[in-house]
Structure 1
Amino acid sequence: MGCAILAAAIAPGTAAPAAMVRNDHGQLTVAADSPLAARLSVTPVTLVSLSRTIPVPGEVRAEPSRSLSVMTPVAGSIVSLPVSPGDPVTRGQVVAELVSGDMAQAATDVAKARAALDYAHRALVRAQGVASAGGAATRDVESARSTWLQAQAEDDRATARMAALRASAGYQAGQGGVIRLTAPIDGIVSAVNTAPGAFVTDPTAPLLAITGTQEVWAVAAVPENLADALHVGQQTEIDVPALPGRTAHGAISAIEPVLHADTRTLQARVVLANGDGALKPGMFATLTVLTPQPPRIMVPQSALLMNNDTVTVFVEVAPHTYRRRGIEIVYDDGDLCEVTSGLSAGERVVTQGAVLLNDD
């Protein structure tokens, strides 16, 4: 369906009366006080900047930095697991408790190292006092100093190991080797891979996964033939079939540099705020990329006339004076049609009632 062309098909005798219109070699002057003048609408020709829309399929994904696994730094037996898949959690909330002999041993090592360091320090002070009174040899002081330095190194080692264990999982250490694993981020428990009573022997095995949904990614699969049309920073509209009537907006933040060989697509992502959690990772989405186009001259359909297979408009050359002019247009659907030649920005054309000026 192309632009609607108003055919100037006025039968003989139906043209505007001579009293209303004066024709001077194709230049039509309409009496300012005539009924015809009141039926004419004249509009300036303007440049219109339109955007080309490129719809591409995609999906909602969790941001990788907001999807984390909770693991235990040492082997142990799970005694409590107070969360289930789908439960919301906050950062620092206890999500699992374990009893670990390794943890108890690490705590004992710290206590022993502190005691040994304290004893070595007191022995060094005592040896230095005896030596200053002339009652001990220098080698006794050096021996006490060496013992103190070794005790200090052992205390540093035990303390550093304990600190590393705590930092590696963000847990709280309780008495008797109890470890309380906590959520590293705010989010939703997306998977639980263990149960109370289970004995964990592999510290690299995730006990549960937490996904943060305050921000998500809308990832588009861009076909190879459209890759050059997309750029970082372009605005997009994201529609999710599962949420009819809701359209999100965002700019392309990144485009993968490598084409996926199996699908011949590039992945472009848009970061979206998701404070209400309505956008769920895994949802299908359509990303419509808005690609700005150069400004174009556009006129309403109602201004167009067909005369002898030529598209024309009436251009105002003086107040209430009009001349027919042939133009070329791009046939397209919509209320406006693009004019490729025959008109310039700023010229005024008749957009309503042009058929009444037909002089054929």
Structure 2
Amino acid sequence: MHQTAPATYPQFFFRSSGRALRPVAAGLAVCAILFGGLACARADTAMVRDDHGRLTVAPDSPLAARLSVTSVTLASPSRTIPVPGEIRAEPSQSLSVMTPVAGAIVSLPVSAGDHVTRNQVVAELASGDMALATTDATKARAGLDYARRALARAQGVASAGGAATRDVESARNAWLQAQAEDDRATARLAALRAQPGQGGVIRLTAPIDGTVSAVNTAAGAFVTDPTAPLMTIVGTGQVWAVAAVPENLADTVHVGQQADITVAARPGLTAHGTIAAIEPALQADTRTLQARVVLANDDAMLKPGMFATVTILTPQPPRIMVPQSALLMNNDTVTVFVETAPHTYRRREIEIIYDDGDLCEVISGLSAGDRVVTQGAVLLNDD
């Protein structure tokens, strides 16, 4: 008969010999490898108690520390509509400088591209009409003074009984005429922005702060047409961003909506404003509706003529939004874990509308005030 060799098993010796302890250590290592996974699984199971789908997590467990719970709220996200646009000078800030009288240009201290401030002298003209106006004003002022003194003398003589009433009335009439003539001459000088005694030189000043965009004359030229612009000054302290809204989006754009404006020539610069006006008719050639955004431009970074992108923010009705990190996907079913009590959670199916952002809209399954697990939900398991 053949004898079967006895089975060999790990030997455990509890002796003080160094050689004898080696098999003991080897046996413990094998046990750790064979049963480590089961022990971890039992430890994880001990963290979560499943009561018919209601999961309770031990408050002092490592799993509880990895869960983040957030209340569901109503949000009003904005739909963004990017459309092409252009930076334009505000028409009321683009003014032409013209001379009110004919004359020869004796000084032209500015040129195209120069920045000017309000009331800065931009041109000087020698004009016979200007000389006549200042002379008339001086004569009218002298005549008014003489008439005033003559009326005072007549009134004094009359009070002493030495003059007739007719003389007083005549002096009063002369004084009234002199006063009217002085008012006329003064108004004429005011229209020319001149002062009595200035002579025949008229100084033209900038009506606004801005930049000289064009100069149409030169020193030494004789101006005969008062309606011809000598130069054009464009104010850049405020500009327009004009958006070209496509015809199919015209009904979504309204006055008062917020808009962000970016320009390719200024990377990193974003201007913010609101739609101030919308033209009533479409552009026939482009089939677009022009919406105007007024922008402050104190630093003159935005130049008229720059191409821009106008992103119009269209507010949407309040909706329930949740972070996409809270979603658990199971085939075609989307679920979240809802906290029903402290450290107690239940899986709930929801319907959503996918979005490219961090949030998505919930159509059904959640209400405002529900608390959902937004971080660590995948660690919960109620299967």
TM-score range, shorter chain: 0.7 to 0.9
Distance (whole Å) between structure 1 residues aligned to residue 306 and residue 223 of structure 2 = 34
Aligned to 2:9: none
Cα distance in 2 for residues equivalent to 1:300 and 1:148: 87
Aligned-residue offset at 1:126: 8.3
Query: In structure 2, what is the Cα distance between the partners aligned to 1:130 and 1:20?
Result: 120
Aligned length: 344
Q: Of 107, 112, 127, which residue of structure 2 is paired with 1:100?
A: 127
Report the residue type matching 1:222 in the other structure.
V
Q: 1:262 aligns with which of 285, 288, 292?
A: 285
CA distance in 1, matches of 2:371, 2:157: 110
1:82 alignment partner, one of 89, 98, 109: 109
Where does 1:62-77 land on structure 2 (aligned, <5 Å)? 62-77=89-104
Paired position in structure 2 for 1:191: 214
CA–CA distance in structure 2, aligned partners of residues 274 and 30 of structure 1: 58
1:113 to partner: Cα distance: 4.5
Deviations 1:268-312 (A, max 9, x none): 323322222222222222222222222322222232223342112
1:205 corresponds in structure 2 to: 228
C-alpha distance 130-350 of structure 1, shift in aligned 2 (>3 A)? closer
- The structural deviation recorded for 1:81 is 0.5
SS at match of 1:262: coil
Higher mean C-alpha deviation, range 199-208 or range 332-341: 332-341
- Structural mapping, 1:51-200, within 5 Å: 51-114=78-141, 153-166=180-193, 175-200=198-223
Aligned-partner SS, 2:373: strand
**Cα distance per residue 1:165-186 (max 9 Å; x no partner):** 33xxxx5677551111111222
Name whichever of 295-304 and 25-34 sits farther off: 25-34
The answer to whether the 8 Å contact 2:138/2:196 transfers is no
| Identity in percent | 83
Superposition deviation, residue 20 in structure 1? 4.1
Distance 1:180 1:14, change over 3 A: farther
Q: Which shifted more, 345-354 or 151-160?
A: 151-160
Which whole-Å CA distance do the structure 1 matches of 2:342 and 2:149 have between them?
Answer: 109
Look up the SS of the partner of 2:192 in the other structure.
helix
Aligned to 1:350: 373
- CA distance in 2 between counterparts of 1:30 and 1:278 reads 58
Indicate if the aligned counterparts of 1:172 and 1:180 stay in contact, CA closer than 8 A. no
> What CA distance in whole angstroms lies between the structure 2 residues aligned with 1:293 and 1:323?
31
Find the counterpart in structure 2 of residue 241 from structure 1: 264
- Hey, what does 1:5 align to over in structure 2? none
TM-score between the two structures when normalised by the length of structure 2: 0.76
Please say if residues 134 and 197 of structure 2, whose CA atoms lie closer than 8 Å, have aligned partners that are also in contact: no
Work out whether residues 240 and 246 of structure 1, in 8 Å CA contact, stay in contact via their aligned partners in 2: yes
Displacement of 1:239: 1.2
Give CA deviations for 1:314-345 in whole Å, capped at 9, x if unaligned. 22223333322211111221222221111112
Structure 1 vs Structure 2 CA RMSD: 3.4
* Residue 329 (str. 1) matches residue 352 (str. 2): yes
Moved more, 132-141 or 181-190: 132-141
State the alpha-carbon separation in 1 of the partners of residues 196 and 173 from structure 2: 33
Residue of 297, 303, 307 corresponding to 1:280: 303
Q: Give the letter aligned to residue 318 of structure 1.
A: A
Distance 1:326 1:106, change over 3 A: same
- Higher radius of gyration, 1 or 2: 2
SS in 2 for 1:82: coil
Distance 1:145 1:172 in 2: 28
Q: Residue type of the partner of 1:247?
A: T
Is 1:93–1:183's contact at 8 Å kept on the other side of the alignment?
A: yes
Distance 2:134 2:199 in 1: 9
Matched position secondary structure for 2:289? strand
> What is the CA-CA distance between 1:206 and the residue it aligns to?
0.9
**Matches of 1:49 and 1:313, distance apart in 2:** 22
**Structure 1 spans left out of the alignment, 5+ residues:** 1-12
Kindly state the Cα deviation for residue 31 of structure 1 after the two structures are TM-superposed. Answer: 4.1
CA distance in 1, matches of 2:240, 2:341: 57
Answer yes or no: is the 8 Å Cα contact 1:173–1:180 preserved in 2. no
- Mapped to 1, the partners of 2:382 and 2:186 lie a distance apart of 100
Q: Which runs of 5+ in 2 are unaligned?
A: 1-37
User: TM-score, normalized by length of structure 1?
Assistant: 0.80
Measured after TM superposition, the shift of residue 243 of structure 1 is: 1.1
Secondary structure at the residue paired with 1:327?
A: strand
User: Is the 8 Å Cα contact of residues 86 and 307 (structure 2) preserved in structure 1?
Assistant: yes
Contact 1:15–1:358 (CA under 8 A) maintained in structure 2: no
Partner of 1:4: none
Letter in 1 for 2:237: Q
Q: Tell me, in whole angstroms, the C-alpha distance in 1 between the residues paired with 2:183 and 2:129.
A: 18
Are the structure 2 counterparts of residues 349 and 15 from structure 1 closer, same or farther at C-alpha, using a change threshold of 3 Å? Answer: farther
The one-letter code of the counterpart of 1:238 is I
CA distance in 2, matches of 1:314, 1:67: 62
